[in-house]
Amino acid sequence: MPVADREQAHYFGGVLSGQRAELDQRLDGLYLEVTRLDGMGDAAGVRHKRQLIRSIESEVRTIDRMQTALRLRLEADEPLSGTDVGAGVADT
């Protein structure tokens, strides 16, 4: 794989990691909201938040699949020792 392609793949891996971190933060907040709403007896609010949670969890699974595919592609083409796909651009 050409160096520019590897650099782009590492960049994209970093973008995916950032997006996943943002989604994880949103999920944390939604889990707290579900607990709060449940304690208040707001069944409709709980249902709504759980729908949001399911949607975000689906996005997280999609990102995880993309990160795995990207990592496998990089490893299959040319193993990069000590380099994390989500860490940014590798030293070349």
For the stretch 11-61, pLDDT in tens is 999 999 999 999 999 999 999 999 999 999 999 999 999 999 999 999 999
The strand ranges marked E within 1-92 are none
CB of 59 closer than 8 Å to CB of 23:
yes
Query: Is residue 70 within 8 Å of 5, Cβ to Cβ?
Result: no
Q: How far apart are the first and last CA of the chain?
A: 13
Give the residue extent of every domain in the chain.
24-75
pTM of model > 0.85: no
pLDDT recorded at residue 91: 42
pLDDT of residue 41: 98
Residue whose pair of structure tokens reads 């409709």 in the numeric block: 44
